[in-house]
Amino acid sequence: MIKSQRKNKLLRELINGAETIISPGAYDALSAKMIEKSGFKVVGSTGYGMHGTILGVPDNGMLAFNEMVSTCGNMADAIDIPLLVDAEGGYGNAINVIRTVENFEKAGVSGLFIEDQKLPPNCPFIKEPEIISVAEMCGKIRAAVDARQDPNFVIVARTDAPFDEAIERAQAYIEAGADMIKILPKTRREMELIPQRVNAPLHIGFFSNQELSSGWNAWDVGKLGYKIVTFPLTPLFLNVKAVMAGLQELREKGNDEGLRDRMADFAEYLQIVDVDKFKAFEKKYIG
């Protein structure tokens, strides 16, 4: 719990600080460790990627609460930096949200965001989302705030509503106790206007191959007023592209000799998974 509190405090300090936080999306413990080893200060999670890696399905709400908590707990245990996770729609009504926050906090994550989609939620790039009422969402936020044990555990409220309605909802969600707001802008102009209309720390996702963020980087939107900029799909899509190309070559040639400069070697991989730490454990406790 002390380790979790330290990471929670760090996340809160980063949100309150001047730095723009870049947070790639992890989908398992190994990808979380690779993000940490690459020098990032916060790891995000991607429900989109976890649906694919755990179930082999699109982001369609099929991943169960216990599967998400278990996977995110493994991710949090694997790293020494904060993990901010996607808790979908809170996995039920406001009463369910209490258990959601309690379990994610026990699992060692440093915060979560809850969206105002009807359950089961889905990726808005796959299907147009349906939205719950403001009152219902505010109830979920209040339940989440009351349920957390550590006040530094961060509650992010996400809305998929159209722009004008999203701005109104954001204000209601802030009043309900949300620490941070995530609005999904539909245009570049909306992305520019959101920081002018919402007086709260802002979370935004850069989605691969989307015109909205084309030509911009995290520091560009940081200057607009966004605090956390996530790249939820980049590690996943990098992995899929590289592995599929390598497997195709392996199938065609029957060996991996031409792939070796595109693969980590044993030493590189063992460094990522902290082999020296476990060697030290063996020396200390087994001899």
Within 8 A by CB and 6+ apart from 188, the residues are 212
Q: Over 80: is that where the pLDDT of 46 sits?
A: yes
Q: Over 90: is that where the pLDDT of 61 sits?
A: no
What's the mean pLDDT in 237-253?
A: 96
pLDDT for 127 equals 64
DSSP calls for 213-265: GTT--HHHHHHHT-SEEEESSHHHHHHHHHHHHHHHHHHHHSS-GGGGGGS--
* pLDDT digits 0-9 by tens, 115-171: 999 887 766 666 677 899 999 999 999 999 999 999 999 999 999 999 999 999 999
pLDDT for 112 equals 97
- What's the pTM? 0.93
Q: Domain 2-239 is of which CATH architecture? A: Alpha-Beta Barrel (3.20)
pLDDT-based confidence at residue 207 (cuts at 50, 70, 90):
confident
Q: Give exposure, 61-98, as e/b (b: 16+ Cβ within 10 Å).
A: bebebeebbebbbebbebbebbbbbbbbbbbeebebbb
pLDDT for 122 equals 64
Give the residue extent of every domain in the chain. 2-239, 257-287
